[in-house]
Structure 1
């Protein structure tokens, strides 16, 4: 079985994601011991949600750990083809865009709270999320990441 986190491009992405998190938050997201491959595996199997998207005008999700895939009820192929705006319902997308723009300007935001929706229509409230800019070592911005460990399912509309 091919583990997506073991793909060399994903291992490299995980390093940028983890390095950028440490740059902005001044803490490590996970234990950084071991090889980049071991770190990618540790990140993928973390109990908290980690997701990211690229720098496109309409950003596409490009990483989700197992917790994210489970929460959004998607497999890797489905998740990594999804425009990140679709993780929020239409009424919540404007607020989501404002939050992402604020993170772009500041480098990161913490204590974000917002409603998201899974691929099967389950709504959940995310609480105390951190969103940060992901960049290469030369400073080139290549996307944004998000992590959170607090969420609760909401009643259907």
Structure 2
């Protein structure tokens, strides 16, 4: 899926499920894809809907947080973003989102490319639903993270 199409799917799904926009109100629609990828002051990532989901989107903020380039992160199994002991909790969250459409307030331990562990906090996760209601995966956004001791 092209980046602009994927960005619109992320934005439209978020708007439909949560009732408000991820974008600043003054941003023209034509600039949405670029702003989300390169300028958004929050992490935004998405994975596909396969049984072992792989990342399909990661904005610049996410890339910096996880210490990966876009080409390294895209295609990576999303389960590898969490340390092995925390993968069951992450999976439960994703299954809950699959059933309910979205979840807010999540906090989880993640692991960067360097092996650094960090907490992501106040995370919102939602299903990537097209206009026909078909699910293409899940997306997440968060503004807060901090290194784990």
Instruction: Indicate conservation of the 8 Å contact 1:113/1:126, yes or no.
Output: yes
Equivalent positions of 1:8-157 (< 5 A) are: 9-31=2-24, 33-36=27-30, 38-44=31-37, 45-155=39-149
2-structure distance, mates of 1:117, 1:93: 11
Instruction: Indicate conservation of the 8 Å contact 1:31/1:39, yes or no.
Output: no
Give 1:3's aligned residue: none
RMSD between superposed Cα atoms in Å: 1.2
Q: Stretches of 4+ moved more than 4 A in 1?
A: none
TM superposition shift of 1:136: 1.2
Q: Which runs of 5+ in 2 are unaligned?
A: none
Q: Which runs of 5+ in 1 are unaligned?
A: 1-7
2-structure distance, mates of 1:88, 1:30: 28
TM superposition shift of 1:102: 0.3
2-structure distance, mates of 1:152, 1:71: 9
TM superposition shift of 1:81: 1.8
TM superposition shift of 1:138: 1.0
| Count of matched residue pairs | 147
Deviations 1:77-131 (A, max 9, x none): 1100210000000000000000000011000000001100101111111110000
